[in-house]
Structure 1
Amino acid sequence: MKYTKTAVSLHWLIALLIVAAFGLGLTMVDIPGITPTKLKYFSWHKWLGVTVLGLACARLFWRLGHKAPAYPPGMPAWQRQAAHGLHGLLYLHIFAVPVSGYVYSLAAGVPVVYLGILPLPVFINPNPELKPALKQLHYVLNMTMLAAVALHVLAALKHQFVDRDGVLRRMMP
């Protein structure tokens, strides 16, 4: 049994956007000073984050109404529990990373204007005291998400090439 086409599409689209946002984030923070290129990258990074958050909401609502396919019958209980825990951690980060970036941007006094057209709500005033903590939180969440994604990919590859149990095929287009 496979995931639905909608679930598979959302999974891979969100994954691609997260990789793009992560790479762009690493690139933009290494650009010295404030340049037009750096400002453009910051905007793109925010737009990617907002898009990930919107698609994550769609994915969560879809998932609530559509049961995941069963794990292979021979999969040990500890692996099922680990997979469940890791998926929960990934979902948490798919929401927490963009939200932390959004709040950090607001604390820095930089509103988010999605695609340069739609201003998103400003629910906190600029806060120079809170800004460094939110910047650090956004960074730590990104690094823990990177570790969780790496573990997720390694587990999928283990199931594909060592166990050969079809787990990876359930999420392939």
Structure 2
Amino acid sequence: MKSVSYTSTAKALHWIMAIAIIGLFCFGLYMSNLPLSPEKLRYYSWHKWAGVSVFILALIRLSWRTFNRPPGLPTHMGRNERLAAHSGHGLLYFLMFAIPLSGWLMSSAKGFQTVMLGVLPIPDLLTKNRELGNLLQTVHWSLNMMLAAIVLGHALAALKHHVKNKDDVLTRMLPYGDKT
């Protein structure tokens, strides 16, 4: 049975966010291991700008999804597989908000205000508190590791549907359309 494809807007938001989140994750790993320098501080600023952008895109994406329901899951999927799919998507949405928010809180607690594009200061959510900043750094890291695991599971599930199940779960989200 062929299902309806996602809207062009949903596809665009999905792939823009996927690229942004994976890039931000890799960039975060890279920059965190650099020695303290003006370059590292500049990279942290860029990382925070991108994080704010992902947060805004997540708001747009959730708004779009609220008013434009996604296609249903294939009828051959069992109860546990449906539960896993819904849980995985729920966690992805949660993390699209929790990770940028934890970074913003961490930055505030460490005393480093986020200044979007170097000109628009974003208000700190917390006062400077070193211990809290260190705790939030651990939270931010842990949430990112959880995201990496869930994104990997998400991609593997899509490939499983395409290769083993031979259904349209993957193709209906591809940018070029629903081709099964």
Number of aligned residue pairs: give it.
172
Which residue of 10, 14, 22 corresponds with 1:19? 22
Structure 2 runs not aligned, ≥5 long: 176-180
- CA displacement at 1:90 relative to structure 2: 0.6
Match of 2:37 in 1: 35
RMSD of aligned Cα (Å): 0.8
2:104 touches 2:124 (CA, 8 Å); kept in 1?
Answer: no
Q: Does 2:56 align with 1:54?
A: yes
- Percent identity between matched residues is 47
2-side partners of 1:168 and 1:94: how far apart? 21
Paired amino acid for 2:10:
A
Match of 2:13 in 1: 10
2-side partners of 1:135 and 1:168: how far apart? 34
Paired amino acid for 1:130:
L
Segments ≥4 residues shifted beyond 3 Å: none
User: TM-score scaled by structure 1?
Assistant: 0.97
2-side partners of 1:52 and 1:5: how far apart? 19
Match of 2:86 in 1: 84
- CA displacement at 1:77 relative to structure 2: 2.0
Match of 2:144 in 1: 142
Paired amino acid for 1:19:
I
User: TM-score scaled by structure 2?
Assistant: 0.93
Paired amino acid for 2:127:
N
Structure 1 runs not aligned, ≥5 long: none
Paired amino acid for 2:7:
T
2-side partners of 1:45 and 1:70: how far apart? 35
Match of 2:153 in 1: 151
